[in-house]
Chains A and B, each alone.
Chain A
């Protein structure tokens, strides 16, 4: 297993466009998390899946954001009608328990 994979690594999009990111977790991990990190800040929690069920969502996750994890495998995070404030690193992590997170290298989004 090569760890948590995220695709794409970088995405530049125009304001108002929709973007979708993909995360492939470690295969035996049933927990999957999305975080957002801006420059000079720590990651901020967005949402959490256990298998295919989305169990928690942060208040940061506006209705322009949606995440899915069909069949409890890979996950996608979609941002609709992107805004400049959405520019950030989007990190995915997976784990077997609430502590042993393995993070991917992230998708860096730039909204111009």
Chain B
């Protein structure tokens, strides 16, 4: 079993839809949880991070962490074609970050 599991998709939604992306993990020591966006042939770009359980909102993006279930989510409201990318969850408790495999999202106009 991988330490971080993420459904690879692909996920295709119409413009304006609410998108839900999820990851599960097995290591209860993880304390910091991140979401990255990666466009083709580019490095990952940090979207947002949360510490421990709870919600964090940034514009159209909301990150949720449920440590009791070892489950994290990213919600994208009013999705736009420019949101089309691969979304990677990541988590750490020290200096090496563990990434999910990424979910490929396409938002159709």
Minimal beta-carbon separation of B28 from chain A (angstroms): 18
The answer to whether B42 has its CB under 8 Å from any CB of chain A is yes
Given the interface pairs A41-B101, A42-B102, A48-B96, the reply to whether A103 lies near B34 with Cβ below 8 Å is: no
Which residues in B have their C-beta under 8 angstroms from that of A25? none
- Shortest distance from the beta carbon of A88 to any chain B beta carbon, whole Å: 13
**How far apart are B64's CB and chain A's nearest CB, in angstroms?**
18
Q: How many residues of B contact A (CB 8 A)?
A: 24
Of the candidates A31, A41, A44, A103, the one whose C-beta lies within 8 Å of that of B44 is A103
Task: Report the bound CA distance from A99 to B36 in whole Å.
Answer: 11
CA distance A105 to B34 in the complex (A): 19
B99 lies within 8 A of A4 (CB): no
Contacting A at CB under 8 A, from B1-52, are: 4, 6, 8, 32, 34, 41-46, 49
Q: Does B88 contact A (CB under 8 A)?
A: yes
Question: In the complex, are the beta carbons of B43 and A42 less than 8 A apart?
Answer: no
Return chain A residues, CB-CB under 8 Å to B92. Answer: 98-99
A73 to B82 alpha-carbon distance, docked (Å): 34
Say if the beta carbon of A40 comes within 8 Å of chain B.
yes
A99 touches B49 (CB 8 A): yes
Q: Contact between A103 and B43 (Cβ–Cβ < 8 Å)?
A: yes
Q: Is the CB of A98 within 8 A of B95?
A: yes
Interface centre among A4, A42, A43, A56 (most CB of B within 10 A): A42
Q: What residue of chain B has the Cβ atom nearest to residue A50's Cβ?
A: B95
Contacts of A26 in B (CB 8 A): none
Nearest B-chain residue to A58, judged by Cβ: B96
- Is B90's CB within 8 Å of the partner chain A? yes
Measured in the bound complex, the distance between the Cα atoms of B45 and A103 in whole Å is: 7
Residue in B closest to A4 when the chains form the complex, CB atoms: B43
Is the C-beta of B77 less than 8 angstroms from some C-beta in chain A? no
Distance of A68 from chain B, by nearest CB (Å): 18
Binding site for A on B (CB under 8 A): 4, 6, 8, 32, 34, 41-46, 49, 88, 90, 92, 94-102
Binding site for B on A (CB under 8 A): 4, 31, 33, 40-45, 48, 55-56, 58, 91, 93, 98-106
